[in-house]
Amino acid sequence: MSAADTAPAEDGPVTMMDYFMQLEYHELLCPVVRRYASQLLEGRLVGHKCPSCGLVYVPPRGYCPICVVETTDADEIVLADKGTVTNYTVVTPVQYYGQEETEPFVRASILLDGEGGMMNLQDIVDVPVDDVHVGMRVEAVWKPPGERNVDEISNRSWGSAEGCIDGWRPTGDPDVPAEQLRDKAF
């Protein structure tokens, strides 16, 4: 807080004040997510492929909500750490308490190569935000093994590999035509 914030208000009575409290909790990961996190630490991106419909879930959920069938370690597949941007936005950060971003940043959906699998809310790095586009080919930028952590992985993760993958950078390969990605908005 600056001195100005704590100085007595001169414009009239105080009607509201900020109250910061802290609440710390530790979330125990369910076995499927725990396995996903341990694989991330090893530098592998894994998902579950539904034995019924073949859709790929990353991170795995332990079930396919469409077919309503359980998926297990037997359905685990190693996914490519390369893919294509299917959609994105450039976010102008709002400076709420705890926000560390100050400049516009990208959040993108990435369709992984090979067996597929979609990852949401991914950062695109090593490229100006204005150059990001649908169809852009990207690859994961892994942290060095000793620097990886899975502190931000949660049971409700939206495709996050935070702590292990710093973001995705352009490979320089030719774009995938945007028309082929229209139903991959996610």
Partner 1 sequence: MSRPAAVVGIGQTKHKKKRDDVSLPGLVREAAQRALDDADLTWTDIDAVVLGKAPDPFEGVMMPELSLADALGATGKPIMRVHTAGSVGGSTALVATHLVQTGVHDKVLTVAYEKQAEGNAQWGLAGGRSGGMGAGGIFAPWMRSYMTRSGAPEHIGWMVAVKDRRNAAKNPYAHLQMPDLTIEDVKESPMLWEPIHWHESCPSSDGACALVLTTEDGAKKAPHPPAWVLGTAMRSELGTFPGRDPVRPQAGVECAHEVYDMAGITDPRKQCDVAELYVPFSWYEPMWLEGHDIAGPGDGWRMVESGETQIDGEFPVNPSGGVLSSNPIGASGMLRFAEAALQVRGRAGEHQVPDAKVGLAQAYGGAAQYFAMWVVGATLDAVDQKR
Cβ nearer to partner 1, comparing 42 with 101? 101
Nearest Cα residue to 123 out of 58, 168, 175, 92: 168
d(CA 165, CA 123): 9
Binding positions for partner 1, rule: CB under 8 A: 15-16, 19, 21, 55-57, 65-66, 87-94, 96-101, 105, 107, 109, 116-118, 120-121, 152, 158-159, 178, 182-183, 185-186
In the complex, the smallest distance separating the C-beta of residue 64 from partner 1, rounded to whole angstroms, is 9
In the complex, the smallest distance separating the C-beta of residue 114 from partner 1, rounded to whole angstroms, is 14
Contact 85, 135 (CB under 8 A): yes
Q: Which residues contact 116 (CB under 8 A, 6 or more apart)?
A: 55, 56
Radius of gyration of the chain (CA): 20
In the complex, the smallest distance separating the C-beta of residue 109 from partner 1, rounded to whole angstroms, is 7
3-state secondary structure of 141: strand
Cβ nearer to partner 1, comparing 146 with 183? 183
In the complex, the smallest distance separating the C-beta of residue 78 from partner 1, rounded to whole angstroms, is 17
